[in-house]
Structure 1
Amino acid sequence: MDLKQLEYFVTIVNEGTISAAAKRLNMSQPPLSTHMKLMENQLGCILFERGSRHIKLTEAGRILYSKANSLLDLSKFTLQELEAYKKGISGTLRVGVVSSVEIIFLNKLILPFHKENPDIHYEIFEGNTYELLEKLKANNLDVAIVRTPFILSSFKYINILKESMVAIGNHNFFRNCLNPDSVTLSELSAVPILLYRRWESIITDMLEQKKIKWDIFCKSDDARTTLHWANEGLGVGIVPESAIGFADKSKIAIKSISDSDLQSTIAAVYNPDTYISSTTKQFLKSIGRI
């Protein structure tokens, strides 16, 4: 099995039929079928269920497909980096970024780094923390810029910024608050709450200790969703302070939570057990100076 065979296999799956894949690959159908049969013989398992017009993968085929995409991506990125090196360019940095840190990521990390390293190019991948850590584990990212809490596994990280969680919502939700600039956990029990799902267990434990109960109206995995719902007056979102860039300040108020020490840390996570390019090392060094 080689990378060319993997490319043939992935193309067949993506196109749905061997004939369509052969057309995409600019080759005739019989040699492509032969390559797939040879791959199955080499692996000792059946990858496709025969007899149907469209390709249907076996369980072995599904496993190979998920891994083949990662291997082909890694091959592509490696060739890109080598090509960039030959041209005297420092390379391409693959960074995963959670939505709530996009503004900080651009202004605090990328702009100063780009000023010092103008020839470095970027591939940005967006997703929630769990999705990005999975990409990092599969070597599809060089660095993931995510928020705590998260499970580190064998990863290492560099803390970038620590910030408080705030309450954000329509002014009407805060009209009974005693302090014009802040809100208490108890006062928030009177309004529908829009919650970042990863904070659910932490906030639940904190509220149980204080014997306070909240009305959790909506849970989501993305700060933008929480802010969009808050903008429409559906509840009060509990979000990291830097995420308020997505807020419509003409509609809503932003309050600190006076009797809570809820904090979120933005961190750059990387995998020390895989190859770390010089471009990535440069970027991590730059982060360490912040």
Structure 2
Amino acid sequence: MDIRQLKYFLTITEEGQITAAAKKLKMAQPPLSQQMKLLENELGITLFERGPRQIQVTDAGKILANRARQILELSDSTVKEIDDFKRGCKGTLTIGTVSSSGNILLNKGIEKFHKEYSDINFEIHEGNTYALIDLLTKGIIEVGIVRTPFNNKRFNCSYAKQEPMVAAMTATYDWDVAKKEITVDELKNRPLIIYRRFNKLIYEVCESYSFKPTVYCKNDDARTTILWANAGHGIAIVPYSAITLAAHNNLHVKIIKEEKLSTRITLIWMKNRYLSLLAKNFIDYFNIQ
């Protein structure tokens, strides 16, 4: 039994057909079938129940599939670790970041990281928290800079400090210019512009104050939320640090005094997955922000 056979075996279990697996592996079907017979003979057990159109993995095959994934992941991690060692701390770091992360990539820790590792290049993917979690799960990015709340069970997390949500509006919508802080119930019957990322949270908090929010506009980007508010279309509800992401010269900003309406920038990476030396160092410098 070797790495190549395990890769063949897993591809067949995923495709459910020898023909489809052979196509994916870019090889002829007879050699693939022969390799599986050799593997079964070596182990002395049947791995597949072969049908006219599809194959079924036996219980023994399921055990092997689980172990094969672990072995292949370990093999891949080992190759990457050796490559890291050979190259030193050089290469390209692929990260994902939400638009509402503000200037997090320009903080002192990341600035120090850039100076220390000047040979490193960055490839940055932007999207909302859920899109970045999908990219991270698929291995397209190594680390993601996202916002709470999200389900963190699958991830290692490094949290930045908590920050409040704010209501940002032009003078037309400002009911009390002197006020710098407001309560949630003061938002009742006012036209809100919200970032879809916080839709559920905002609705739940408003309903706890016995009213349903009046949502004038819902969108997928904090910058859009701010721009619409700055143009006088309503009241933007965004994280405090996101205000400077777009033109905001017309906005009056008020902190919303409600603990539930708060959020944190969070650096996440997958549990039980290889992490490059570049990513490990990046995380260390993020932690000293």
TM-score, L = length of structure 2: 0.68
Partner of 1:180: 179
Partner of 2:262: 263
Partner of 1:248: 247
In structure 1, distance between residues paired with 2:282 and 2:24 = 44
- Please tell me whether the aligned partners of residues 227 and 248 of structure 2 are also in contact (alpha carbons under 8 angstroms): no
In structure 1, distance between residues paired with 2:25 and 2:171 = 67
Partner of 1:169: 169
Deviations, residues 173-220 of structure 1 (Å, cap 9, x unaligned): 11x237422233222223210112232222222222211232111122
Identity in percent: 37
Residues 203 and 88 of structure 1, relative CA distance in 2, 3 Å threshold: closer
In structure 2, distance between residues paired with 1:154 and 1:128 = 18
Residues 193 and 38 of structure 1, relative CA distance in 2, 3 Å threshold: closer
In structure 2, distance between residues paired with 1:38 and 1:95 = 29
Partner of 2:119: 119
Residues 102 and 255 of structure 1, relative CA distance in 2, 3 Å threshold: closer
Task: Give the counterpart letter for 1:230 in structure 2.
Answer: A
Residues 158 and 88 of structure 1, relative CA distance in 2, 3 Å threshold: closer
In structure 2, distance between residues paired with 1:237 and 1:37 = 49
Residues 236 and 38 of structure 1, relative CA distance in 2, 3 Å threshold: closer
Q: CA RMSD in A?
A: 2.9
- Please tell me whether the aligned partners of residues 89 and 278 of structure 2 are also in contact (alpha carbons under 8 angstroms): no
- Please tell me whether the aligned partners of residues 137 and 271 of structure 1 are also in contact (alpha carbons under 8 angstroms): yes
- Please tell me whether the aligned partners of residues 128 and 197 of structure 2 are also in contact (alpha carbons under 8 angstroms): no
Deviation at 1:109, TM superposition (A): 4.5
Task: Give the counterpart letter for 2:210 in structure 1.
Answer: K
- Please tell me whether the aligned partners of residues 102 and 244 of structure 2 are also in contact (alpha carbons under 8 angstroms): no
Residues 116 and 233 of structure 1, relative CA distance in 2, 3 Å threshold: same
Structure 1 runs, 4 residues or longer, greater than 3 Å off = 35-44, 84-89, 258-261
Partner of 1:136: 136
SS of match in other structure, 1:276: coil
Partner of 1:65: none
In structure 2, distance between residues paired with 1:37 and 1:171 = 61
Alignment length, in residue pairs? 222
5+ residue gaps, structure 1:
3-34, 45-74
In structure 2, distance between residues paired with 1:42 and 1:237 = 59
Deviations, residues 4-40 of structure 1 (Å, cap 9, x unaligned): xxxxxxxxxxxxxxxxxxxxxxxxxxxxxxx969948
Task: Give the counterpart letter for 2:235 in structure 1.
Answer: V
SS of match in other structure, 2:151: coil
- Please tell me whether the aligned partners of residues 183 and 257 of structure 2 are also in contact (alpha carbons under 8 angstroms): yes
- Please tell me whether the aligned partners of residues 147 and 264 of structure 1 are also in contact (alpha carbons under 8 angstroms): yes
Residues 257 and 92 of structure 1, relative CA distance in 2, 3 Å threshold: same
Deviation at 1:143, TM superposition (A): 0.5
Residues 213 and 88 of structure 1, relative CA distance in 2, 3 Å threshold: closer
5+ residue gaps, structure 2:
5-21, 33-75
Residues 100 and 41 of structure 1, relative CA distance in 2, 3 Å threshold: same
- Please tell me whether the aligned partners of residues 92 and 122 of structure 1 are also in contact (alpha carbons under 8 angstroms): yes
Pairs within 5 Å for 1:1-290 = 39=26, 42=29, 82=83, 86=86, 88=88, 90-174=90-174, 176-177=175-176, 179-259=178-258, 261-290=260-289
Deviation at 1:282, TM superposition (A): 1.0
Partner of 2:50: none
Residues 135 and 288 of structure 1, relative CA distance in 2, 3 Å threshold: same
TM-score, L = length of structure 1: 0.68
Deviation at 1:260, TM superposition (A): 5.3
